[in-house]
């Protein structure tokens, strides 16, 4: 198995290829030979699952995807400037990666709507067909063995369409009727129909739509999502769990988030942040077991911060005899740097699932997501236990190195 | 069993009875009828162990103890002023509690050495005998069924005496030879010989001395310790665990602690804080699995803070590709208020152990301590699992309420 | 002069009498005999102007006013609970203070609109007449020598009416035509016509309306405003000034404000906070001399905070060679407690002006306001110098104590 | 005058040439053509004194000095790595700057004592003579018009010798008797005797010694000191001034400083930080006008921080009626980057003084120092006014650009 995982070439196709997070993932994983540094921030390695030959290595990944920005990945890396230094030979390889034109619907951001590098089509069904063709063209051009598609574009506006009963037949009708559907649906459906695993790293409804789940079931494709848990939400899970176990009553949690990248600009718009806020707000009550506390999350676009995500939290709680105490946390992270190893992990889990015939939502990867689908929201250490349990039979049978 | 626990009167004798923490525990548990408020901050309730009738209730506790300050507990409560309001009838009951004179050796603080309310004796052996007499007098005066002794005085200076091989025989010789031994040893030995359980809530070496462990074994007495984990150390365990599981490399952790109570004044003296610092520094490497990071803890006496413990932490770590990030935490707690429900819990565990014939160090209560004795240092949630596992057979057999 | 100031009874009539800030000012100044404690937070004393007998003493103030909450000031004090202890005799005196019914227009808050204790009238002109009558009734009932009216109700919505050319004639026409005008205008006009000085402690347009300025001129009444500078804005002035003098380039300033009182609830609504934000945002560019930086202010209602105003600021600046640095400030203040001594100071300045025939906007009290009217916005220490300069001739002629 | 200042070559000789701060000053001022970026952080420019041609330009500075580290300034720059990028041509020029061997006495740090690149001498008088020779050699090799010597080595231990009555005769005797005197004295005396201005940028007693002051008087040399005020102390002056003017009573100020450079390592040793702490502690009482508050300053060596100086401050104060409030400040600065433009300014002031015949301590440059000598400690804005006043006659006569 180890050999199979290692020797295969895995295609990784990303919707939003030239965004800060995806681009950082490409530039970093293609540009570093320092294995130890590349393992930092990876849950696979944090959970002790990295040394058993279970997973494909990121050096075997072949990257491609879609973007409204049609420049090469090298140009994008230069613009974002997130990694301190990208060497010449890496830039050269990044220069060879150019995105396909992106499907953009009216729920996308104003910036995306104005982007020049887009598909122009009669209906959304045409877009699905075009994306399937892109994938097949990529596969044959790059001789990849298996393929994972990630949705990593900006958070969409809410869709007015009710989706709770949207089955495949009705979705197909809609795709033919409409020009504008949520772009996540287009990529997910195309991925599944092109026999690719699909992961949603953003706060969108895609993986709640029945049509997508049943298509994945039918095609035997694995799904994972949603919204990578890079920092703040994880902190809430961890500290919320601590409060519960110490029987300290949470009275309120205020979070101010300041971001200077495109993500910040878009999330500062109420119409694009509603799903994100829902995801952020949903975790604490589940971990605490009650919801009678004030929970406020502000997200503000603040250009001086760049890609460095900063947050300030005030955690107010009651101790013995109801006496109030408080904890303030100032988180100074780097969004794309925290996200990259998690996104690479997700590709590896999806690729493993492809190889082992798993289909539908992978509940055991819940530790990666703000809003884990296919499983309950549980404290982080329990989510990791679930992950390790899933892989237990596989690494038990791994032959030891000698 | 429930009936037994509830109906019994449990004596709680505290060395350091008039200190801020012990006094707050008395005033709060005697003065509140609000059961919910009294449960806040208790791990017994956080772990879901509180509703099975396993434990004696704090309303059945009868308090007494020793202090260099000979005033009543009511006078001490007025001086400390930690609880917002203590009503008249509680003050009256506190007014009836007056400490026995304390044993003070040369390792105690300068303040204690100058305290007027002290035993004056020929040798430390006399002190042990006097403390045993105190306990017996307390027991017959108050008709208590069982008795727990807590050491809750200020952290001592280091003892020059090597203790690794100090067995009971040699300890008894020393007690006869010397006037000055660590006061923790005197109280521990007297407690055991008077058939009391003993808990050490402070950073002292008492429960590492072989003579104490073997005496507890011989007399069948349970022990628990050491150094209550009220806030900062717990945070380190929790966040250290998170870093490890996310494979984020800790580069350094700086902690500034400012305290305005007697504890702060005493811990600001290097000779009294060495064991405390050891306990504080020992937890992180165990949870992380490595120790190549800078770990600095400053403890500073800052009178404006009073009993409100404040700390500021800078947690510096490396993420993907070795890129540095940081988290700053400003903890605004209340020392005695955080400690009181934990101290009451420890009494309940020791009392349970007495009733069930447990002897020696209770490893399953490690979740309460900075430096858990009788068990390994593990992440907090694992320590809680160990606690629950121990009690599992007992609460499974609890008859359900009908 | 000193004698005159001291012996006189000064009426202080407040629109918003039962709000947290006004009520705290009443309860505190009526309830404390500790002169030193009452001087804390006063700029009059900070500027060394307090010991020359220039100003009336707050013990000579007689309080009254208007509110939609018709309860006594004692009931309001009990609800707000901002001061730790208010003794019985003070509560008794507060129990005798009951507000007149308030004028409420459609620009007031939803809460005010629903308040029961309001004037019901045909037109806004009737409201002005009613307020004038209230003032006269108060004056004759309390035998006050002079009277100051303060506007201290919640920030209003924006008025659609253009006000730049609104002279007295046109305003009077409007008052007869309309039922709903900004309540600040009603109180200001009534105050001036009843020969009272008028101060606006809130972020409203009242003192920018030409009709009000010319009425004050004609009646010879002094005005002061607007929006008390209690904490955060002052900090911005002070630190902005420091950056300018050190030639450190401000790149961005982010402020998150969390408040749990009625002010917080109302300012969290965009329609009520626009003038407040304008005032908060206007000061920095003036002090720095440039405006090419990102300045974002979030105001969030967060109930656990109560009247304790908390803010977190990230101040990002460039030093030598353009290298970025940052300063984070966590302000833990108490809104009403910071405001009360400033509001009392403003009354004293207005009363002094009344006695000395000053009319119109008092530019020399700019140090008190977020948006000083009648003067330029200057660094805080310059504003204090201006204040001292104005009073210089008066305190130079003060006879020295012997 | 402008022409004279501009055309002259000014020698800048630094004791501690290869330290982080001095080296950063060299690398930055030699490596940047961006005039605007070079002006950032300069008080000369903040005070509006930079555009009148009064001062020599740093491009006319010729650098040299002494260090126990005998490598070139290019090698030192590479080790320190404080400036993000130093280009090749600058590195080449830095490669030509190599320090003279340093005088090291027993009061210097252990590191300095072990440094290889030191003078080995019979007595301290020999050291003075050697330093004079170094200066003369430097002057003739570089054809400089005037010369400024800066002391910028690590803070020294306390000298046991009483210095209050140490006149030149007695100092000369001591220099002949002893091998070990504070190195600051050696450099100061040599500078003065070689007709150089002298500035002390560190917390040492040099400029309090009568012999140095009288020598400067006799030789007609200007002096400036001591201990550059780069960040935290300035903040204390600024905020202390605000508290005083608002009549808010300071109750306590706690500062934790964490530094990862050599300065941090040395200041973490009590014997090297006593003068520094005195300087840091002395400013607040002077600005506030009282000293009944708790003032604690911790300085801790914390390697992960590098040259980025971080501090956390808790400022606790009482407002109206004695109610407590607090402000927390987290300063994230860069020591050498904040210091460099100030050090360059000091050179310019000393050079101006040389040209204009000023001698002894320059009281008007107090704004630059934690412990200003030759003047009173006043609020920062007053210190700037003093600076501007001094230069007023000179820039008034500056011909305007046409």
- Judged by a CB distance cut-off of 8 A, whether residue D306 touches chain B is no
Residues of D103-116 as b/e, b for ≥16 C-beta within 10 angstroms?
bbbebbbeebeebe
Between chains, do D296 and B300 touch, taking CB under 8 Å as contact? yes
Asked whether the bond before A375 is cis by omega within 30 degrees of 0, the reply is: no
Q: Is D303 in the B-facing interface, judged by CB distances under 8 Å?
A: yes
Kindly report the nearest CA distance between residue B265 and chain D, in angstroms. 13
Buried b (16+ CB within 10 A) or exposed e, C156-182: bbebeeebeebebeebeebbeeeeebb
Q: End-to-end distance of chain A based on CA atoms, in angstroms?
A: 17
Pick from C41, C320, C337: CB nearest D246? C41
- DSSP class of residue B364 equals G
D-contacting chains (≥3 CB pairs under 8 Å): B, C
Contact residues on chain D for C43, CB-CB shorter than 8 A = 245-247
Token code pair at residue B298 = 């400053």
Q: Is B27 in the D-facing interface, judged by CB distances under 8 Å?
A: no
Q: State how far the Cα of B121 lies from the Cα of B123, in Å rounded to an integer.
A: 6
Mean pLDDT of B377-390: 92
Which residue, among C37, C29, C42, C30, has the nearest Cα to C228 in the 3D structure?
Answer: C42
**What integer pLDDT is reported at residue D398 of this predicted model?**
65
* Confidence at residue B91, expressed as pLDDT on a 0 to 100 scale: 92
Weakest-pLDDT range from B17-21, C158-162, D126-130: C158-162
Residue pLDDT, tens place only, B245-294: 999 999 999 999 998 887 778 887 877 777 778 877 888 998 899 999 99
User: pLDDT value at position A2?
Assistant: 47
Any CB–CB contact under 8 A between D252 and chain C?
no
Q: Nearest CA to D27 among D275, D269, D302, D344? A: D344
A310/C310 Cβ within 8 A: no
* pLDDT score for C279: 77
Interface test with D, best of B256, B308, B326, B332 (most D CBs within 10 A): B256
- Give the residue, D268 or A133, on which the prediction is more confident: A133
What is the distance between the alpha carbons of residues C196 and C13, in angstroms, rounded to a whole number? 9
Confidence band, pLDDT 50/70/90 cuts, at residue B399:
low
Distance (Å) of CA D327 to CA A122, C222, C306, C312, D314: 60, 36, 17, 10, 6
| Mean pLDDT, rounded, for A56-71 | 93
Best of B31, B320, B322 to mutate (most A CBs within 10 Å, chain A): B320
User: Phi, psi at residue C117, to the nearest 5°?
Assistant: -95, 65
Give C301's contacts in chain A (Cβ within 8 Å).
296
Q: Which residues of D touch B308 (CB under 8 A)?
A: none
Residue C110: Cβ within 10 Å count: 10
Residues from chain D that touch C333, judged by Cβ atoms under 8 A, are 319, 325, 327
Band of pLDDT at residue D43, cut at 50, 70 and 90 = very high
Residue B310 has pLDDT above 70, yes or no: yes
Least confident of A222-231, B185-194, C159-168, C384-393: C159-168
Q: What is the mean pLDDT of residues A96-125?
A: 84
Residue B6 has pLDDT above 90, yes or no: no
Q: Is A325 on the interface with B (CB under 8 A)?
A: yes
B310: chain D residues, CB-CB within 8 Å = 314
With a CB cutoff of 8 Å and minimum separation 6, the contacts of A337 are: A24, A28, A41, A82, A307, B319, B320, B321, B323, B325
Mean pLDDT, all residues of chain C? 90
What average pLDDT does the segment D274-285 reach? 82
Q: In this complex, is the C-beta atom of D316 within 8 Å of any C-beta atom belonging to chain B?
A: yes
**Average pLDDT, integer, range A62-71:** 95
Q: Which residues of B touch D296 (CB under 8 A)?
A: 258, 300-302
Say which range, B217-221, D257-261, D338-342, has the weakest mean pLDDT.
D257-261
A318 — contact with chain B (CB < 8 Å)? yes
Q: Report the percent of chain B where pLDDT is more than 70.
A: 97
Q: What gap in Å lies between CA C100 and CA C118, rounded to an integer?
A: 8
A256 part of contact set with chain C, CB < 8 Å? yes
Average the pLDDT over each of B72-81, B295-304, C89-98, C267-276 and give the range with the smallest value: C267-276
Note the ipTM here. 0.91
**Cα–Cα separations (whole angstroms), residue A328 to B246, B251, C268, D331, D359:** 22, 21, 22, 16, 52
> What's the pLDDT score for residue B402?
40
How far apart (Å, rounded) are the C-alpha atoms in residues A245 and D47?
Answer: 57
What is the band of C402 on the pLDDT scale with cuts at 50, 70, 90? very low
Q: What is the pLDDT of residue B195?
A: 97
Would you call C84 an interface residue with chain D, using a CB distance cutoff of 8 Å? yes
Please say if the pLDDT value at position B110 is more than 80: no
What local confidence, expressed as pLDDT, does residue B1 receive? 42
CB within 8 Å: C314 and A258 = yes
Looking at residue C246, its pLDDT comes to 92
Confidence of residue C2 (pLDDT cuts 50, 70, 90): very low
pLDDT at A95: 95
| Average pLDDT rounded to a whole number, residues D272-294 | 85
- Contact call for B337 and A319, based on CB within 8 A: yes
pLDDT in tens, B169-215: 999 999 999 888 899 999 999 999 999 999 999 989 999 999 999 99
Q: Token pair of B213, please?
A: 């462990």
Kindly report the average pLDDT of chain A as a whole number: 90
Predicted confidence at residue B277, as pLDDT, reads: 81
User: Three-class SS of residue A74?
Assistant: helix
Q: Check pLDDT > 90 for residue D396.
A: no
Going by DSSP bridges, is the β-strand pair A310-318/A324-332 parallel, antiparallel, or unpaired? antiparallel
Q: Do C331 and D327 touch (CB under 8 A)?
A: yes
Q: Does D395 touch chain B (CB under 8 A)?
A: no
Residue A148 has pLDDT above 50, yes or no: yes
Question: What pTM did the predictor assign?
Answer: 0.91
pLDDT digits (tens, 9 = 90+) for D126-162: 999 999 999 999 999 999 989 999 999 988 888 888 8
Number of Cβ pairs closer than 8 Å across A and C? 61
**For residue B120, is pLDDT > 90?**
no
User: Whole-angstrom Cα distance, residue D55 to residue D33?
Assistant: 18
pLDDT at C360 over 60: yes
């Amino acid at each position: 198995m180890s050999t199979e995982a290692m020797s295969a070439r895995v295609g990784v196709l990303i919707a939003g290829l030239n965004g800060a997070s995806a681009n950082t993932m490409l530039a970093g994983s293609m540009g570093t030979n320092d294995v130890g540094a590349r393992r930092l921030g990876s849950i696979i390695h944090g959970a002790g699952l990295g040394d058993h030959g279970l997973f494909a290595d990121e050096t075997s990944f072949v990257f491609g995807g879609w973007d409204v920005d049609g420049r090469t990945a090298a140009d994008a890396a230069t613009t974002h400037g997130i990694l301190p230094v990208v060497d010449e030979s890496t830039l050269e390889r990044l220069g060879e990666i150019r995105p396909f034109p992106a499907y953009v619907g009216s729920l996308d951001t104003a910036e995306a709507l104005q982007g020049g590098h887009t598909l122009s089509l009669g209906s959304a069904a045409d877009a699905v067909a075009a994306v399937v063709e892109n994938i097949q063209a990529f596969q044959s051009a790059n001789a990849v063995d298996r393929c994972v598609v990630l949705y990593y574009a900006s958070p969409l506006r809410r869709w007015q369409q009710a989706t709770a009963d949207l089955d495949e037949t009705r979705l197909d009708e809609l795709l033919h009727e409409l020009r504008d559907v949520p772009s996540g649906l287009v990529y997910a459906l195309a991925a599944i129909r092109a026999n690719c695993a699909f992961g949603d790293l953003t706060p969108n409804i895609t993986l709640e739509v029945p049509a997508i789940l049943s298509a994945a079931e039918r095609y035997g494709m694995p799904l994972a999502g949603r919204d990578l848990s890079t920092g703040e939400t994880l902190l809430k899970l961890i500290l919320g769990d601590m409060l519960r176990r110490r029987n300290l009553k949470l009275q309120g949690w205020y979070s101010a988030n300041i971001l200077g990248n495109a993500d910040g600009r878009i999330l500062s718009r109420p119409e694009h942040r509603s799903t994100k806020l829902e995801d952020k707000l949903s975790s604490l009550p589940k971990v605490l077991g009650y919801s009678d506390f004030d929970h406020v999350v502000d997200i503000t676009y603040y250009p001086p911060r760049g890609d460095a995500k900063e947050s300030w939290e005030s955690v107010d709680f009651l101790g013995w005899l109801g006496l109030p105490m408080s904890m303030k946390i100032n988180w100074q992270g780097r969004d794309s740097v925290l996200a990259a190893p998690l996104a690479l992990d997700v590709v590896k889990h999806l690729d493993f699932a492809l190889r082992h015939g798993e289909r539908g939502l992978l509940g055991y990867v819940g530790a990666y997501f703000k809003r884990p689908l296919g499983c309950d929201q549980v404290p982080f250490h329990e989510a990791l236990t679930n992950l390790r349990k899933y892989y237990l039979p596989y690494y038990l049978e791994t032959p030891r190195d000698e």
